[in-house]
Amino acid sequence: MRRTAVLTATVAMALMGLVGSAMPATAQAPPGSTRNEVPLAALAPPDISLTNVKAHLSQLQSIASSNGGTRRSTTSGYTASVSYVEQRLQAAGYTTRRVTCSPGCTSGAGPDLIADWPGGDESQVIMAGAHLDSVSAGPGINDNGSGSSMTLEVALTLAAQNPAMSKHVRFGWWSDEEQGLLGSRAYVSSLSSTDRSRIKQYLNFDMIGSTNGGYFVNNITTAAAVDLRAFYTNLGLQPEENTEGANRSDDASFRNAGIPTSGVAAGASATKTSAQAAKWGGTAGRAYDSCYHQSCDTTANINDTVLDRAGDALAYAIWTQAVGTSTGRDFSIGASPATGSVQAGQTATTTIGTTTTSGTAQTVSLTASGLPSGATASFSPASVTSGGSSTLSLATSASTPAGTYAVTVTGTGQTATHTTTYTVTVGGTGGGRTFTNGTNFTINDLSTINSPVTSTATGSAVSPVQVSVTISHTCAEDLRIRLRGPNGTYYTIDSSGGSSCTSYGTRTYSVPVSQQAAGTWTLQVTDEFRLDTGFLDTWSVTV
């Protein structure tokens, strides 16, 4: 009887699937009640109701009308505007705060209004805001009832949906913008440097319903603008940089303090170009807002489509950045071993372990990317509960090129996604790491021969090494064959014994090893029984 050392790799193929579920929206929580959080990830950004935004605009118009036709920062029209927004926010469950705008503002200017939505990571604050004051000449419905009303409606929609929050969301309504961005500057300088550094982004909305407006994004090429820009780009609207409004609204106060900023504007007194009219509609050669800073900036001075899109753009940015990816639950992921090696055509395995690092355990789906060509990866099981582990089987094919590959293993959890790297070295079947000794060695009865080869391959031997042996011998069952590695270890690759004789021919072996590739590898053949003899013709080892 003859035994071999051929390894058979069993590859467990598992289907990879993502765990997903549809999220219901909750009803608006009454004030004072416990908020019923929608758990887990990925609520779709909501459509902000244009009807509701316009209802807020009508309220601001009435406030102006009953207060001398203006909402200038120093007037009762302004403080009535603050009260309106404040009351709506409080009813929805916001924590609101008036920030006195003095010193630093025009004498007699009313306060800024700040609203925090409870929840999310307070060390990562995403802010959006708009100036709430008008110029003295008019009610300021486009400038800037539009930004104020839209921001209010986005805040109310967030409260109504009440999703789980990853980042903390804060809104601001600024006083005294029209006198030189004074309210926002006072707010930013009122913060401690710690609180300032917690604000990771500020998005500004000033004049977002201009009747002949366009789609302008502040600092459009910066990271802070990514979501706003993507929103308009996805609509095919080819947004442009807000050059007209650069440094002329409250985002400048934040930017001057080192906070990344962006925002949306539809344009003021500058003239729409024919190229802009061609892509956005409207009239070329006319101002974006021909009532800019005038008494005609009333509810009639609004472009509904442009206004509606700005609201949906802000919702998109907030939901993308701050909603639903973490409720304090998290996990980590790692590969053990983190490196491996395999001959082309064979399968490498490693264990992917996960750990719950905060909160309760969660389901983690596993996928792999960055595979060498011709290779496939499977996980068994395809998803784990954090704390558990899975076996990654990386099956290469004969055509997989030799080389070292960093395979990225991605664990997609319910509140977070993490990756780890498994580095696998694939040894080629072809040249480079295969060494041959073609010298014939006569095999006599009851004697041993040793045939050495010198390997110049670098690094570790890629386990299992492949051995191919050609022997002319009429009784393979007479032979015990061993491989000796450069470090002196012997591996028995074929044992003698058996009830009848077969001729040897060419046989191949896969030999698990753990040692360096370079040095002398020796094939040792011992004939342990009488009568049959022969010779070692050639052999090779692929390390």
For ligand DTR, the binding residues in 44-103 under the rule CB under 6 A are none
248 binds, among Ca ion, ligand DTR, Zn ion, none (CB under 5 to 8 A by kind): ligand DTR
**434: its two tokens:** 């295969």
Q: How many residues bind Zn ion (CB under 5 A)?
A: 3
Alpha helices by DSSP H, listed for 93-207, are: 147-161, 182-190, 193-198
Strand order in the sheet with 479-484: 448-455, 519-527, 479-484, 490-494
Q: Pattern of binders to Zn ion over 203-222, x per CB under 5 A?
A: ---x----------------
Is 438 strand, coil or helix?
coil
> Residue 324, by phi and psi: left (phi above 0), alpha (psi -120 to 50) or beta?
left
- Span from 33-41, 223-231, 263-271, 532-540 in contact with ligand DTR (CB under 6 A): 263-271
**313: its two tokens:** 């753009």
d(CA 455, CA 517): 7
Query: For residues 173 and 316, which CB has a smaller minimum distance to Ca ion in the complex?
Result: 316
For Ca ion, the binding residues in 26-85 under the rule CB under 5 A are 47-48
CB of 376 to ligand DTR, least distance (A): 53
133 binds Ca ion (CB under 5 A): no
Which of 112, 116, 206, 297 forms a contact with ligand DTR (CB under 6 A)? 206
Is 492 strand, coil or helix?
strand
Half-sphere exposure (CA, 13 Å, Cβ side) for 80?
20
Nearest Cα neighbor of 316 from 26, 38, 15, 43 is 43
What length does the chain have? 543
CB of 134 to ligand DTR, least distance (A): 9
Which of 132, 265, 394, 513 forms a contact with ligand DTR (CB under 6 A)? 265
245 binds, among ligand DTR, Zn ion, Ca ion, none (CB under 5 to 8 A by kind): ligand DTR
d(CA 535, CA 337): 42
d(CA 486, CA 364): 43
414 binds, among ligand DTR, Ca ion, Zn ion, none (CB under 5 to 8 A by kind): none
Query: For residues 214 and 334, which CB has a smaller minimum distance to ligand DTR in the complex?
Result: 214
312 binds, among Zn ion, Ca ion, ligand DTR, none (CB under 5 to 8 A by kind): Ca ion
Which of 74, 79, 144, 327 forms a contact with Zn ion (CB under 5 A)? 144
CB atoms within 10 A of CB 213: 30
d(CA 154, CA 158): 6
d(CA 324, CA 56): 28
CB of 77 to ligand DTR, least distance (A): 16
CB of 248 to ligand DTR, least distance (A): 4
Query: For residues 163 and 239, which CB has a smaller minimum distance to ligand DTR in the complex?
Result: 239
Half-sphere exposure (CA, 13 Å, Cβ side) for 70?
14
CB of 180 to ligand DTR, least distance (A): 10
Query: For residues 92 and 306, which CB has a smaller minimum distance to ligand DTR in the complex?
Result: 306
Q: Pattern of binders to ligand DTR over 115-154, x per CB under 6 A?
A: ----------------------------xx----------
d(CA 128, CA 125): 10
Half-sphere exposure (CA, 13 Å, Cβ side) for 450?
8
312 binds Ca ion (CB under 5 A): yes
Nearest Cα neighbor of 156 from 84, 263, 264, 250 is 84
**64: its two tokens:** 């102006």
Which of 86, 116, 133, 143 forms a contact with Zn ion (CB under 5 A)? 143
308 binds Ca ion (CB under 5 A): yes
Q: How many residues bind ligand DTR (CB under 6 A)?
A: 14
* Residue nearest ligand DTR, Cβ-based: 245
Beta bridge partner(s), residue 413 = none
Terminal-to-terminal C-alpha distance of the chain:
29
Q: Which residues are catalytic?
A: 177
Residues that bind Zn ion (CB under 5 A): 143-144, 206
The residues that touch ligand DTR, with contacts defined as CB under 6 A, are 143-144, 177-178, 206-207, 242, 244-245, 248-249, 265, 267-268
Q: Which residues bind Ca ion (CB under 5 A)?
A: 47-48, 308, 312
